[in-house]
């Protein structure tokens, strides 16, 4: 088994535990959030052990897909003029998605970049603010998650995840974990980019 696959298996195992803990919060309250975030730190160890940017981005997207149990995940990096640019896409089945597959809710992306805050739509088609947007209707999107990638005061890009299934269970703890994973991913991407610059 490859080193990359070992990392992905580790991430899947940890995120499965995170999901179980998040489900428990619905009946037992705040105490399981701490456990979920502790498990999240184990995921970041896998992220920070990667030095190849391409492998790192794939690992981040696969982690998000496992966490959200979603269909597709994309990572966008910002151009110098702050325009988001497609970097990489992954499917839940582990396939790479191409630029041609990069059809998303631009409204959610713009909102995430504008507010610099993560967004989770557990059932986008029923959402009062976003449900009538053409891209959401055309793509029949139900779950949408987007989170900014920030390193200190620098905006690097964002992660976007969607699915044609609504999120079965959703609590505020999902938002906390999504935000924490995105923040750690931003650090990992920033460090990997620095590594490429030094060794390119």
CA-CA-CA-CA dihedral for 96, 190, 162, 117, to nearest 10: -170
Pull the structure tokens for residue 123.
């059932």
Edge-to-edge order in the sheet of strand 143-151: 96-97, 84-91, 72-78, 154-163, 143-151, 119-121
| 187 pLDDT higher than 80 | yes
Give pTM, 2 decimals. 0.82
User: Mean pLDDT across the stretch 46-72?
Assistant: 82
Identify which of 82, 75, 57, 96 has the alpha carbon closest to the alpha carbon of residue 192.
57
pLDDT tens digit string along 69-121? Answer: 899 999 999 998 989 999 999 999 999 999 999 999 999 999 999 999 999 99
Say what the pLDDT of residue 183 is.
86
Q: Which domains occur in the chain, in start order?
A: 3-199 (3.30.450.40)
Determine what percent of the chain is predicted with pLDDT higher than 70: 82
Max Cα distance, the chain (Å): 51
Say what the pLDDT of residue 20 is.
74
Pull the structure tokens for residue 38.
């502790």
pLDDT tens digit string along 127-163? Answer: 888 988 988 999 999 999 999 999 988 899 999 999 9
Round to whole Å and give the CA distance between 6 and 9.
Answer: 5
Q: Which residues contact 149 (CB under 8 A, 6 or more apart)?
A: 75, 77, 155, 156, 157, 158, 159, 182, 185, 186, 189
pLDDT tens digit string along 6-27? Answer: 666 777 777 777 777 767 665 6
């Amino acid at each position: 088994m490859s080193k990359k696959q070992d990392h992905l298996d580790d991430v899947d195992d940890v995120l499965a535990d995170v999901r179980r803990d998040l489900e428990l919060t619905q009946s037992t309250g705040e105490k399981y959030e701490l456990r979920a975030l502790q498990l999240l730190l184990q995921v970041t160890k896998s992220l920070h052990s990667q030095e190849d940017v391409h492998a790192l981005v794939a690992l981040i997207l696969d982690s998000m897909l496992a966490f959200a149990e979603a269909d597709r995940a994309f990572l966008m990096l910002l151009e110098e003029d702050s325009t988001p640019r497609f970097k990489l896409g992954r499917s839940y089945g582990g396939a790479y998605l191409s630029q041609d597959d990069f059809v998303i809710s631009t409204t959610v992306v713009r909102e995430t970049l504008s507010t610099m805050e993560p967004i989770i739509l557990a059932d986008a088609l029923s959402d009062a603010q976003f449900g009538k947007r053409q891209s959401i209707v055309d793509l029949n999107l139900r779950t949408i998650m987007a989170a900014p990638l920030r390193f200190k005061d620098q905006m690097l890009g964002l992660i976007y995840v969607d699915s044609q299934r609504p999120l079965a269970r959703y609590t505020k703890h999902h938002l906390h974990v999504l935000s924490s994973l995105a923040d750690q991913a931003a650090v990992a991407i920033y460090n990997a980019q620095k590594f490429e610059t030094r060794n390119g």
